[in-house]
Structure 1
């Protein structure tokens, strides 16, 4: 089996559902989200922005099907800013689509565009329920909501194993992926993350449709899971850092700078070890890629 492109496929979710060889799984996921029963995976046209990085962000899986622009993101840490991120992704995708189809935005006729369906699949440990995230929730000025002319809605679906049973059961590969993540977390009690992933792959039931794929790509799967685990741990530390600074507001600036420097060192070490992309580290650090690389 061919190895994945490590530069871009930094999540197991995108490896499972964003590969051309796994179109049947992608179609199953589409049907679960839209409550449809399409049967031809060859109708899927992947549009994932693998070679475009915007503000340190890449989308996980996007594809055209049935004149719908499907933009799917995976979240292992809750992020309420998905609407603005998805807006940026969608704008890039529409720009690419318009150029490919040679559409004119200056004519007298309305150009036909695929309808956007924006979804975030969440399997973090913060216990977030299914919800609709809205861009308009960010339109606040001096504590007052401001009505804007743009709205973006992202459907957040909790895919933790044991949650949303009917939804997970409607997409077998997704349910098996949820099982795998849950088993890795359980294995983390008393063992290192690499061993926890290895054990989970071995424990994958024989009748799982993703089992042979996981075994055939064992090295890549382990690498992706370890990377995602390290990212989640780093984000958790950054959040705790923010809460600590909030509780201790007013203390000397030197302490804040010291803690910030510690976070930057950890992010830098993860990048050097190949366990996190520089773009992702810059996003977590909250700064442009060029600024992060210069530190």
Structure 2
């Protein structure tokens, strides 16, 4: 199957405060083009499996969507996004003052592992702290620089207090336009399935990466259940990305599918080969703008 190179008409850079392995913030330009091509009136952008929500944040901050829906079933991720919208000043103060030391890293790791949902700010910040101080932002990974801090990079390498504070405050200013939930992603898809103002980006846990990257990894039954829910969406506009796997090819055989690579220029190569699946109207927009060949 041929892989198609997509070059979005615009680029927004990194606006999410989180680091996510395999994050799709670079797709924001593609979604912005789709909003234009679909002619959506007061669009609502929904991510049922949000994680870092990089693309959605870019669209909201650029004024390209009216509302952003961030959903993540993981309680710590949910606690972080709730803290961003409900306890923004306190969260920013923590970012500005928290020690960046191994002792503090161990303390935040224990808070994260305890999973105490009664203190949203503490759990949300613990998640954020580890996301910014662990290698590649992986919660199960080790601290940048190692426990002895003898590596080339230290614990503070990805914790720029000023930049992170600015990103968080910008989201705080937009909090009345952000909805945060901790539902199963399939429930969120159902909730918005009939809304024609919705552009939904569905980025579920992948088949191959599975438990290595996702705390709430899917098994085959989960992938099958999601496919059944997708078949019920007939109002909202949606686009899904997945890894290229026989199971996914089979489950979405009756939907538009194309392998893709995303590029902004020859100097900025994009993702490794992945699968893009889309609703009929989004598929038509993709084909028209980028002449994407459908998978056979």
TM-score by length of 1: 0.30
Question: Where is the helix percentage greater, Structure 1 or Structure 2?
Answer: 1
* Higher relative contact order (Cα pairs below 8 Å, separated by 6+ residues): 2
Q: Higher Cα Rg: structure 1 or 2?
A: 1
